[in-house]
Amino acid sequence: MKLIVIRHGQTKHNAHGRLQGQRSNESLNLDGANEVRVALEKISEHRPLVLYSSPLKRARETADIIAKEFGLSVTERNELMERDFGSLTGLTWNEVANMGHTKLRELDKSFAYDYRQFGGENVDNVRSRIKKLLKDFSVIHTDETIACVTHGGIIRILYDVLEVEQPETTANASVHVFEIENFHSKNPFNLIKKI
């Protein structure tokens, strides 16, 4: 299975460094829509047959641009939604630190986060839903090229689950391509290569 993963284009919150998560449902800004149109060239190198998206507006609008270009329909999957920051949604990391939570950003970067005290989710919740999604895809889409539009935190978890070195950035409208083989072992996903 070839898996093309696209981060949604920029939103106003992205531009201002604010946490979005599941509870923010902003549209793309003008720059974000333009970023997605630029990314179409890289996506076209792989010609996806199927397109999935997070149901959040910024992802769905990104997916709609891609769908129009390639003549695809969009299937929403809740597993592709960004991690839930709970009541921290809409804040900047500096504002979070000023509330006395100075280590949260570092915990987030090191996959040790737990936002349940703020009504959100922890890293194990997120990792579990991504593993479930990959298992579903590996059964449904054997030997197919599929695309998913999702969020920065989910892309980072995907790299972690597939045991691939993290990229320096998961910029808005960035495109990440993996070839994955399912071999039904303890870790059921064998990354053939990161393209």
Tokens, residue 192: 């053939």
Q: Known catalytic residue: 8?
A: yes
Q: Is the dihedral of CA 16, 69, 137, 27 positive or negative?
A: positive
Tokens, residue 180: 């994955």
The one-character DSSP state at 92 is B
Query: What does the DSSP assignment read for the chain?
Result: -EEEEEEPPP-HHHHTTB--TTT--PPP-HHHHHHHHHHHHHHHTT--SEEEE-SSHHHHHHHHHHHHHHT--EEE-GGGSPP--GGGTT-BHHHHHHTT-TTHHHHHHTT--B-GGGT--BHHHHHHHHHHHHHHHHHH-TT-EEEEEE-HHHHHHHHHHTT-PPPS---TT-EEEEEEEE--SSS-EEEEEE-
> Which of 26, 35, 61, 82 is an active site residue?
82
Q: Known catalytic residue: 26?
A: no
Q: Which residues are known to be catalytic?
A: 8, 82
